[in-house]
């Protein structure tokens, strides 16, 4: 499956547990919405991502994707130490330039 470069970087860096590369995929003022909370800016996003990795040990495997303009919608199988694992989640990633400006994760 072909993903826009920053989206591919996000999933590759997440898989490799590479926080620096993952943060580089996000715009400085990017926004992430996950589990009913909003995280704004690279520093806040880094704290959110590390806390989720430590808490759930998630393994995310993209299974389908569709890009419409600057929005990429990725369906991914996510397994880890959380109720209902594995789960099929939807990642909506808005790309501006060569960075992720917005990420929303949901069912």
CA distance 4 to 8: 6
CA distance 74 to 3: 9
pLDDT tens readout for residues 16-47: 999 999 999 999 999 999 999 999 999 999 99
Nearest to 30 by CA among 46, 51, 53: 46
In order of their start, the domains of the chain are: 5-106 (3.10.450.50)
Beta strands in the chain (DSSP E): 26-34, 37-40, 59-68, 71-79, 87-96, 99-106
pLDDT tens readout for residues 69-93: 999 999 999 999 999 999 999 999 9
pTM: 0.96
Peptide bond into 22 cis (omega under 30): no
User: Which of the four pLDDT bands, split at 50, 70 and 90, describes residue 94?
Assistant: very high
């Amino acid at each position: 499956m072909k993903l826009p470069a920053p989206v591919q970087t996000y999933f590759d860096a997440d898989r490799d547990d590479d926080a620096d590369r993952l943060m580089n995929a996000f715009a400085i003022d990017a926004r992430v919405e996950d589990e009913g909370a909003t995280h704004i800016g690279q520093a806040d996003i880094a704290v959110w991502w590390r806390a989720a990795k430590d808490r759930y040990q998630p393994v995310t495997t993209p299974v389908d994707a569709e890009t419409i303009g600057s929005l990429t919608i990725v369906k991914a199988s996510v397994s880890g130490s959380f109720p209902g694992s594995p789960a099929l989640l939807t990642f909506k990633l808005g790309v501006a330039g060569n960075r992720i400006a917005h990420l929303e994760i949901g069912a």
